[in-house]
Amino acid sequence: MDLSHRFSKRELALLYEEVLYTILHRLGKPKHDHVADAQELYAYVQKAFGMDAEEHSIIMQQVKALESPIFCLKATVKEAKGILGKDVSGFSDPYCLLGIEAKSHEPAHPDHRKRMKAVVKDLIPEDQIHRTQVISQTLSPVWDETFILEFEDVETASFHLDMWDSDTVESVRHKLGELTDLHGLKRIFKDARKDKGQDDFLGNVVLRLKDLPCSDDQWYQLEPRTETYPNRGQCHLQFLLTHKKRATTSSRTQPSYTVHRHLLQQLVSYEILQHQAGSIAWDGELSRHASTVLYLHATQKDLSDFHQVMAQWLAYSKLYQSLEFNSNCLLHQITSIEYQWVQERLRPEQKAELAESFQSLLTYGVSLVRRYRIIFPLSVPRSTERLQSLLRVLVQMCKMKAFHELCTLSPDLPQMVSKALKSGTAEWFHMKKQHLKPMVKSMEENGKALSRLLLEVIGDLQQCQKIWNKFFINTLKLNLFFITYLELESLVAEHVQEQLREVDSSMSKPTAESLFQLYMNLQELYRMKDFLPKREGPLALSSFHQWFKEAVPQWLQKAYTIALERAQRAVQMDQLTPFGEHNKHSTSTVDLSTCYAQIVKTWQQLNWPDPEEAFMIMVKLVEDMCKIALMYCRLIKERAEALSLNERNEGKAANRLCIVVNNIKQLRLLIRKLPLQLDWAQLEQRTGDVIDQQQIQHTLHNQLDSTVSCLDHEVRDVVQALATKLEKGIARHIQELSSSNDTREPEDDQTGHSLPTSSLWEEAPLGPPALPAPASTALPLSPLCPAGCGPPALPNAPLLSLQSIIPLMKFLESELQYLNEHLVHENFKSLLALLWHHTLAVLSAAAGQQGPSTQRYKKLHCALKSLELCFHAEGCGLPLETLHTAAFLSLETHLALCSATSRKLIQKYFSNRIQQQLDTSSEKYGAVTIKALYRPSEQKLRVEVLNAVNLIPLDSNGSSDPFVQLTLEPRHEFPEVVARTTQCKRNELHPLFDEAFDFLIPPEKCRQEGACLLLTVFDYDTLGANDLEGEAFFPLRHLPGLDTDEDQADAGRVPQTRLPLTHPKPTGDEILQLLESRKGDKEAQAFVKLRKQRAKQSKETE
């Protein structure tokens, strides 16, 4: 029967009669999730069938007048477990007697307990008793037998079941053969006392029918008649309360299966429409009222589960084609039919109905898939779930055994869907093309229409790839994106080529713009091929870029014109002031950066596939950007001159010049980033086979380098001009510092004074510069010093020297403030480097003037160290490798020596000799061996002169008369310690002295710079002066025992020290020259005289 038609009024009335009859003659105790009130059910079905009150009343009266059905209990005795073993073997031979007692007694009846223990054959007439088969020798019998038990009144009737052990007459010998234990023996004695062939009672089950639901399936406890064996096991029973001989017209004229299907169709239609009225999608869940009515009807008609599922499938699959609901509702029926499928259970007309439903749903489902863009729009919630469930339903349906057995021509579902998707995609494309067709036919409007169409296509493919494709792959193993892309790509290529046939090089600018957008859209569409699986053969869009070859020059010219005009406007609007608190360049650089970014974006958007043509495009873009850079450099300088033309404040004019330098430097950075932004490495790789590497270098890199050189030249010119202005002032202040009147300062001033931290390369705090307090010795903080940074202390800086460099630091403070504020870090460091080299040259010239005093050297040295600290700024400024040039190191050493006191120079001299001693390994003048130990408790230095070896012969006899003189140097540190000498050893070149000497000296004197034990080996001459064999310097700061609190107990464990003898160089020692120049210093002159005497005796040559 075709389910697509609506029921006629007559058919609906008969169906309504059927449902009212079902409710009226309801059997069984309602389930907890069903509706118990009959009036509620009547009200529901009245709404579901659209009956008014009068129609309902008339049909209700007719139903009540109909004859009541025969009530039946369909009882199935399934199995039992845990029953008693009554035979000698320990088992039983159970069987069941069952029936319905017409009139049951309520529990309040006095003999209720007795009645419950009565057996079936005593309560029920013999012709109404049913008996199961006997299952031999078991305690877990399985019967699975069904009986139909009729009854009249459900309120009074009760179900009775007795279980018995069947006994047959056996000989005693046979029973003894089965005997296994003492319990078996007891059973033999018990059997002997009862009548022969009498069955044993195993237990019973008694149930009132009014307590049973319509269908029931559970285990029941077997009840005893006595308390001897209370636990008698369980029995598994199934019950179904059904009707026979229903008096309704539908039941009398139509199969139960068909009537139930019609009822299901009517109620489900009503349920779906109710949900749609509330704007809620029906999920397949029936209401309690509908579930109750359908459950009652199916049980009363004794419909099998299989036929119920069949009815549901036919109704649901047909309704799905006319009413919108979730196709997941069909999956349950598909699974149930597949699980219970037995073709022989259906009549021919039922098979035909089922086959027709399969074909109908398949055709309808594929048509929905073909139009999935319209049927399942993403704008509607849960559309993806709906399509996915539909695909699952189609796949599961086509896999069913019923489908393959009933549908003789089983279709290939993936092939059907693939074909439908192709045709649906083509229909969708032509619909969109027609919808976006321009009203005015022109190349410009056609280009815009094509761009809009491409956007629609790209959007659809993105949805396919990101959303829909996974559903088709998971269910059908079908790549929706592959199918859709190939179809749309071919349609797009054909349509675009047809529209672009009229394009030539004389196209208008609007047309070129519209074509550029179309080109980018086509490019994006073509790039989506990367998501396709591997395939052979080219795509229709493989050479799409050739369609736009005539438009490329106009695209490039437009990009250049837009960037040029924007850069010109930016310069005209630029006031050459920093555009932000933390920026040191002006607004035009931001616009220029945007111009370059737009050109770079144009290159990236073009992404021209042909490598040779792409190279030519790159050459044009780089040439245009270099033109813009040089044009900007010229315009920004002209802008600065125009703004400063009537400006009287030279500081503001200089500030604008600083901004110009910063802007050009920023432009240089932009230019340098172009190879990376334009991805030249990738371009070189692409063009490697068609363009020589040298040509790329010559054409692109050289052009860029040339532009950068021009920009660097402009920056250097401005920075040099700024530096030249400051160099004159720095030279003047250093000259004033060196020529100022000397004032005698205390010797060896060890007081540290604060110096300024001129972090010239740091950001300057805004506001007026901080000036020093008049009475303070601290130098003024540079305006370039970071906020919160205090002046560091310069050790050993005399007060007068610090005060003398204040004018220089104030000059730098006032002159560099605006430069620091307006120059970017890199430009400012370039300026500082120029100033540093100039400053070193000026200081060197001042230090080289004739006859400078010690105080003048101190001031110059203090100035050098102060400027070094300021220019380095604890690592934030110029790096030390930049500051510490050869000129700086030479000047620092020279000024440090010249500004030192005589005693400091003497100490330095001995420090140098100690270092020379440590660096000497040659013993060409021999060596002396000593042992030295310091005893802290006695403040005593003990020296043992052991021997000398390999001395040079100084006498005419080829030998010498050596002795060793011991002195502690420098003398001004040990004024009270007299020199000591060893005995003279005659005619010895390897003398053994083995003499010890003690010196009383405090430990702090041993730690002084240059403190040493000078061992001078002489050759004794009776008539003339003693000759010098050599001298050795032993540093006192390394004395054993000096750094310990306790004396060493064993002096013999003190290691020997072998000191090579050395000779002083005859001339050229800078320290001695400085000391000699201090004519008024007697101590210096005496020291120089002594060292000159030693130098005269030296065997060393220049």
**823: its two tokens:** 């120059």
Query: What is the structure's pLDDT at 1?
Result: 33
Give the pLDDT confidence of 609-651 residue by residue, as tens digits: 999 999 999 999 999 999 999 999 999 988 988 888 876 666 6
Give the helix ranges, DSSP H, for 697-798. 702-739
CB-CB contact of 951 with 926 (8 Å): yes
620 contacts: CB under 8 Å, gap ≥ 6: 556
Name the pairing type of β-strands 1012-1019 and 200-208. unpaired
Query: What is the structure's pLDDT at 307?
Result: 85
pTM exceeds 0.75, yes or no? no
Query: What is the structure's pLDDT at 1051?
Result: 60
Query: What is the structure's pLDDT at 780?
Result: 46
Helix 348-370 vs helix 413-435: crossing angle, to nearest 10: 40
Exposed, middle or buried, 1060 (CB in 10 Å: 0-12/13-18/19+)?
A: middle
- What letter would DSSP give residue 1061? -
**524: its two tokens:** 């994006």
Helices (H) and strands (E) in the chain, counts: 38, 18
**748: its two tokens:** 């060896």
Q: How many CA atoms lie within 13 A of 729 on its CB side?
A: 16
CB-CB contact of 1094 with 1062 (8 Å): no
Q: Closest Cα to residue 567, out of 624, 610, 614?
A: 624
CB-CB contact of 1023 with 987 (8 Å): no
Q: How many CB atoms lie within 10 A of CB 5?
A: 8
What DSSP element (H or E) covers 513?
Answer: helix 509-527
Query: What is the structure's pLDDT at 928?
Result: 95
What DSSP element (H or E) covers 564?
Answer: helix 552-573
The CA distance from 6 to 258, in Å, is: 15
Peptide linkage before 807 cis (omega within 30 of 0): no
Which residues, given as ranges, of the chain have pLDDT below 70? 1-5, 104-118, 169-197, 228-229, 277-281, 343-344, 503-506, 647-651, 740-802, 817-818, 821-822, 850-852, 1045-1052, 1068, 1101-1102
The CA distance from 1008 to 253, in Å, is: 132
CB-CB contact of 115 with 105 (8 Å): yes
Handedness of CA 777, 783, 789, 794 (dihedral sign): negative
What does residue 814 show for φ and ψ, rounded to 5 degrees?
-75, -35
Handedness of CA 654, 656, 659, 661 (dihedral sign): negative
26 torsion bin: left (phi>0), alpha (psi -120 to 50), beta (else): beta
The CA distance from 123 to 700, in Å, is: 115
Q: Closest Cα to residue 459, out of 379, 388, 381, 402?
A: 379
Q: Closest Cα to residue 609, out of 543, 510, 515?
A: 543
**497: its two tokens:** 């080529």
767 contacts: CB under 8 Å, gap ≥ 6: none
Query: What is the structure's pLDDT at 205?
Result: 92
CB contact burial 88-106 (16+ within 10 A = b; e otherwise): bbbbbbbbbbbbbbeebbe
Q: Closest Cα to residue 1036, out of 1005, 1012, 1055?
A: 1012
CB-CB contact of 34 with 288 (8 Å): yes
447 contacts: CB under 8 Å, gap ≥ 6: 499, 511, 514, 515, 517, 518
**646: its two tokens:** 């009537």
